[in-house]
Structure 1
């Protein structure tokens, strides 16, 4: 697993709550914030929550926002509040900002003020974004049932080994669908394919199997 990071999630609508609960379930250090007391109370038994107006700089200071590695701005009902919050978080020193946009114009403003990741997402994408924000995966697709497809860089322990030598299926239960090496075409995951440090691996497996493979 990647190192645990601290993530401030602003907005506890369906999208924000999906991101926050996914990150919390993965063991990340999450604090979810909303100015709506009803939403805060609804989620307080599942994840760490606090009621605050993040358009207020003083409120963010009281939350020690500058201590967080990453922030997700999941405000969907007010473009103004979303933009002001993103700006306040950037001013607080959080450079890794993920912000949900509700229109092209909204996305353009967020980009201009310096939000690093713009999410043009519907609510059901929250779980995928949670996995991406956690830093474990370059991409993540949830399939029907228990299986996921993820894209990762070759784990350090597997660099220089072939798929067969790493016993990826026997030991971890995963399947390496393919490998994309820098400046090379995509190659299907044959047993004799050697994995290199900057290769991108496309993996199919259950969540715990994939995480086990990453740890080695």
Structure 2
């Protein structure tokens, strides 16, 4: 079936809170998404909102029936059974889906998923908890962990830098971070350039290691 340019075909397995949110978001973005759940009541609940079928992805025959190998990406969002999650992920990998995302519920679960070949492992609860913890601390307007110790955060311009350009503040040389962009109230977002002036009420998008960002904010 022909797809709109720029879209991906995504198979979402499991329609709990996490999986249903992923599937609904992809559907709203007009991606070619198909959701799967083994519970007929859950399937019926979502059938009027997103493309969904009833199937048990731990069953190899079910994998073949829905022709899972045709999908570019799969998201295994099963959270109530580690065994079912791992088996479903393994079946999808065996079907040829290499871009596999999987939800984990523990460190051990995540380790197993990575060992069998899941490219992206998400611990939705701990990732969300970490983000909220940083936001509640009051230092950040937004927070995204990229990889390991690297993060992207949104902050107001620190008082000691207000009125200075990025070059004058020597942000990269002093702190090792990068100002990706600046959003001033009532103005369009602009990418961070050497001559970009950082005003007190501006929102800065900065990227770097957590320790570098903490030093930048504490100066």
Q: Match for 2:72 among 69, 72, 94?
A: 69
Match of 2:60 in 1: 57
Deviation of 1:3 after TM superposition, in Å, equals 1.4
2:32 matched to 1:29?
A: yes
Structure 2 regions of 5+ residues with no counterpart? Answer: 129-134, 136-141, 146-171, 183-189, 195-203, 207-219
Q: Match for 2:178 among 171, 182, 186?
A: 186
CA contact (8 A) 2:9 2:72 kept: yes
* Higher relative contact order, structure no. (Cα contacts within 8 Å, ≥ 6 residues apart): 1
| Greater Rg by CA | 2
SS of equivalent residue, structure 2 residue 53: strand
**So what's the TM-score if we normalise by structure 2?**
0.59
| Count of equivalent residues | 148
Match of 1:12 in 2: 15
2:116 matched to 1:113?
A: yes
CA contact (8 A) 2:180 2:205 kept: no
Match of 1:131 in 2: none
Measure the CA separation in 1 of the matches of 2:70 and 2:15: 20
Deviation of 1:16 after TM superposition, in Å, equals 0.4
Measure the CA separation in 2 of the matches of 1:85 and 1:63: 13
1:145-160 matches, within 5 Å, as none
CA contact (8 A) 1:150 1:202 kept: no
**So what's the TM-score if we normalise by structure 1?**
0.60
RMSD between superposed Cα atoms in Å: 3.4
Match of 1:213 in 2: none
Structure 1 regions of 5+ residues with no counterpart? Answer: 126-140, 142-147, 152-179, 195-200, 204-216
Q: Match for 2:50 among 47, 50, 55?
A: 47
CA contact (8 A) 1:31 1:48 kept: yes
Deviation of 1:189 after TM superposition, in Å, equals 3.2
